[in-house]
A = this chain, B = another copy of it.
Amino acid sequence: MEFTVSQIAAMLGGQVEGDGNAKIRMLAKIQDAKGGQIAFLSNPKYENYIYTTQASAVIVSKDFKPRKAIQSALIVVDNPYSSFTVLLEEYHRMVSFQKSGVEEPSFIGANSSTGQNLYRGAFSYIGNNVKIGDNVKIYPHVYVGDNCVVGNNVILHPNVKLYADSKIGNNCVLHAGVVIGSDGFGFAPQNDGTYKSIPQMGNVVIEDDVVIGANTVIDCATLYGDSTIIRQGVKLDNLIQVAHNVEIGKNTVIAAQSGVSGSTKIGEQCVIAGQVGIAGHLVIANKTSIGAQAGIPKSIKEEGLKLIGYPVFDVKDYFKSYAVFKRLPDLNYRLRELEKKVLGNGVEQPE
């Protein structure tokens, strides 16, 4: 990647002051930047750096009035921070999608097709009857089982595992070690105390714009024709457990290490913190907000509640109760003292 300062200014709709032909190859903080790099100045407390930085260019605000000479080219914009963010995103997109071509050895089975501008890393495995869309990046050690369908603009980071029959929508990112479609935890107890495995025949469907964090696991549905479903725009963090037949609604966000038990249906636009546990066969209303480490044993029917605790209740009430919990030994003492006074000393005291 290499652009001139003028090309970047054009991209940002900004004005160049200084050498518009300087070459930019990388982004950096103003205090660290070197030649060939571009930085930005937004917070006035970093102003001094602009007079000494080795950056080839700095993005500055229209309102910025230099107090000394500046070596770097300037790109003058309305909002330097948001302009820099645009560059970061562009850079990130280019880096994420820069890989292309097929590295060998890699494996592709019978009747499988891949789209345009594919990256297929060494040691990646694609089974039979798989359909892969355009602009898909399949990193090394990825496994795509038979009959999977993967949409366009998808990134499967190293070691993602898609069991057979999984469906992944467009613009999804699955991080390293994600497992999609493993067997649900279903066992029928037998009279002799053993458990018999219930065959898990369904699949997992992941809609568009979903991001899934590293080492998260999503089990397949139990019955043939059923699916565990992750709706459009859902963001799942690392090390999350999603059990069989779960459905997670549009744009719901779940933080690391939370777990959702079988057949639970989570609504849209929910925000679920880390290490939360949600029992099976529940319905969680839209826009529910759940605090860290909470436990949810019952359905939540009202929309927009903020809950915490095990079992969960209202966040504010939880903290009020918890404040008294911390003083329980004192409460207990005061109650005894009162009992002595009212009932006399002869009363039988619980220890």
Q: A256-B241, A329-B321 known; A293 and B274 CB under 8 Å?
A: no
- Tell yes or no: A137 within 8 A of B by CB: no
User: Which residues of B have CB within 8 Å of A28?
Assistant: 224-225
Task: Tell me, yes or no, whether A65 is within 8 Å of chain B by CB.
Answer: no
The answer to whether A350 touches B327 (Cβ under 8 A) is yes
Q: In this assembly, does A46 line the interface, its C-beta being within 8 Å of a C-beta of chain B?
A: no
One of A11-19, A66-74, A112-120, A121-129 at the interface: A121-129
CB-based contact A261/B274 at 8 Å: yes
Query: Which B residues lie within 8 Å of A209 (CB)?
Result: 194
Q: Which residues from chain B contact A269 at a C-beta distance below 8 Å?
A: 193
A27 on the B face (CB < 8 A): yes
Contacts of A238 in B (CB 8 A): 179, 182, 185, 217, 219, 241
Interface membership of A29, Cβ < 8 A? yes
Instruction: Scan A222-255; emit 1 where CB is below 8 A from any B CB, else 0.
Output: 0111000000010101110101000000110101
Closest to A194 in B: B233
For A173, the chain B residues whose CB sits under 8 A away are 183, 197
Within 8 A of B (CB), among A200-229: 200-201, 209, 211, 213-215, 217, 219, 223-225
Bound complex: CA A275 to CA B107 (Å): 38
Question: Please, which residues of chain B bring their CB within 8 A of the CB of A257?
Answer: 241, 257, 259, 277
In this complex, the interface size class of chain A, counting residues with CB under 8 Å from chain B, is 35 or more
On whether the beta carbons of A243 and B217 are closer than 8 Å, the reply is: no
- Chain B residues near A293: list those with CB within 8 A: 277, 293, 295, 310
State whether B342 touches A187 (Cβ < 8 A): no
Q: Determine how many copies of this chain the complex contains.
A: 3
Q: Is the CB of B335 within 8 A of A331?
A: yes
Q: How far is the CB of A299 from chain B (nearest CB, A)?
A: 15
Q: Of B213, B311, B341, which contacts A322 at CB under 8 A?
A: B311
Q: Which of A151-185 contact B (CB under 8 A)?
A: 157-159, 161, 163-164, 173, 175-177, 179, 182-183, 185
CB<8 Å pairs between A and B, sample of 26: A26-B224, A88-B199, A89-B199, A91-B201, A121-B125, A122-B125, A163-B176, A183-B211, A183-B213, A185-B237, A193-B251, A193-B269, A195-B233, A215-B215, A256-B259, A257-B257, A257-B259, A261-B274, A275-B277, A275-B295, A277-B293, A321-B327, A330-B350, A334-B339, A334-B350, A335-B338
Given contacts A123-B125, A177-B179, A331-B332, 16 further A-B contacts (CB under 8 A): A93-B199, A103-B107, A107-B122, A107-B140, A121-B125, A179-B214, A182-B213, A185-B235, A185-B238, A215-B215, A217-B256, A317-B329, A321-B325, A325-B328, A338-B339, A341-B343
